[in-house]
């Protein structure tokens, strides 16, 4: 009888948190933002439809009860960042508001898999968001009808691309968004929106493909410029202040180090995103800073959205990078209220 009771107690302890083998404890914590001790964080492992193993940090609300059903949110971005940076901060804030939140590393970056490292691809990255949704909707403690996403910077555009394709996404927040395919094809502010400029870019990247194949390696484009030129635009200085200083630097971050593979730009130029953004029926909130150099991309995208469940919020005085980690500028109260309206 004693053996039976002991076995039952062990089984009870093992199942009380209702976590499968794809969720485990942290072994190392390298997050660059302030950690809330009341928010439990676990390491999560899942895969996308291409068979690439992805890793995320799963944030659980205070007094988490695995027997309950929670609303959940997947978070990614900025483009070239890792989960220990901005997406983790956003996920932690959503967990503080009562959500299960998953901040994840995209394919080929951070702790996620992919044989060739530091590759960006609009199709694979859009799929990464849906893979995160796969993970969340299959948790016993998540209500599959109440799952949303938050994309930051380049992942703001990728998130909207995912929302147009994945009807399981019930609400989307796009913060300080970039349309990465637009920037890659047209340059900033569409200054290089012409056939010759795109041809020149394609020619250079295809020459790099040949060189990469001969060398058996993949050349990197360089992350945020370092050292910083005195005449750098203000938004480049803002990037430097985040990615290259203790404020936001992380050893796994593409932008903090050597950048993406040079040839990643080919897919971004050739496969435009947001083709069907007008067909997103679920709610969308686009948030931008008043002074953000990227603001035009968010406003242009918002003009294409249809329906009475779409909102645009411009944060007074905020720059692009203010919405990375400036707790006085990021409108978390509005973001939480928006999600509560559609997911709670």
| Mean pLDDT, residues 115-131 taken together | 96
Could you count the other beta carbons within 10 Å of the beta carbon of residue 28? 5
Predicted TM-score (pTM) of the model is 0.93
Q: In the chain, where does DSSP find H-type helix?
A: 2-15, 86-96, 122-137, 154-165, 180-186, 195-215, 234-243, 264-270, 295-304, 322-325, 332-343
The answer to whether residues 335 and 170 touch, using CB atoms and an 8 Å cutoff, is no
Q: What is the pLDDT of residue 344?
A: 87
Phi, psi of 311 (to 5 degrees): -135, 150
Per-residue model confidence as pLDDT tens digits over 16-40: 344 555 999 988 999 999 999 999 9
Residue 124 pLDDT exceeds 80: yes
pLDDT at 5: 39
Predicted confidence (pLDDT) per residue in 279-312, tens digit: 999 999 999 999 999 999 999 999 999 999 999 9
Angle at 19 between CA 15 and CA 24, to 5 degrees: 120
Question: 154-165 and 122-137 helices cross at what angle (nearest 10)?
Answer: 70
Specify whether the CB–CB gap between 50 and 127 falls below 8 A: yes
């Amino acid at each position: 009888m004693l053996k039976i009771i002991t076995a039952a107690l062990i089984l009870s302890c093992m199942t009380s948190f209702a976590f499968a083998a794809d969720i485990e404890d942290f072994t190392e914590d390298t997050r660059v933002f302030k950690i809330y001790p009341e928010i439990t964080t676990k390491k999560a492992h899942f895969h996308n439809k291409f068979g690439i193993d992805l890793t995320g940090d799963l944030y659980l609300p205070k007094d988490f009860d695995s027997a309950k059903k929670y609303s959940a949110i997947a978070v990614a971005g900025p483009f070239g960042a890792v989960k220990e940076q901005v997406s983790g901060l956003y996920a932690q804030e959503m967990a503080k508001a009562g959500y299960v939140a998953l901040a994840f590393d995209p394919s080929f970056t951070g702790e996620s898999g992919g044989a060739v490292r530091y590759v960006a691809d609009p199709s694979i990255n859009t799929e990464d968001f849906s893979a995160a949704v796969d993970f969340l909707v299959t948790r016993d403690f998540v209500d599959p009808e109440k799952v949303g996403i938050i994309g930051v910077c380049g992942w703001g555009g990728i998130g909207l691309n995912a929302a147009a394709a994945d009807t399981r996404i019930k609400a989307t927040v796009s913060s300080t968004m970039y349309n990465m395919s637009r920037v890659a094809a047209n340059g900033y502010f569409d200054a290089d929106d012409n056939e010759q400029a795109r041809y020149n870019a394609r020619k250079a990247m295809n020459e790099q493909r040949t060189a990469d194949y001969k060398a058996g390696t993949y050349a990197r484009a360089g992350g945020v410029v370092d050292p910083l030129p005195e005449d750098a635009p203000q938004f480049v200085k803002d990037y430097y202040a985040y990615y290259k200083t203790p404020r936001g630097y992380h050893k796994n971050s593409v932008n903090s180090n050597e950048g993406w593979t040079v040839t990643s730009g080919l897919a971004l130029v050739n496969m435009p995103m947001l083709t069907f953004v007008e067909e997103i029926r679920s709610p969308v909130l686009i948030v931008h800073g008043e002074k953000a150099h990227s603001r035009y991309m968010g406003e242009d995208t918002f003009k294409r959205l249809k329906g009475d469940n779409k909102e645009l919020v411009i944060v007074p005085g905020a720059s692009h990078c203010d919405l990375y980690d400036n707790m006085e500028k990021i409108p978390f109260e509005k973001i939480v209220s928006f999600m509560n309206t559609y997911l709670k």
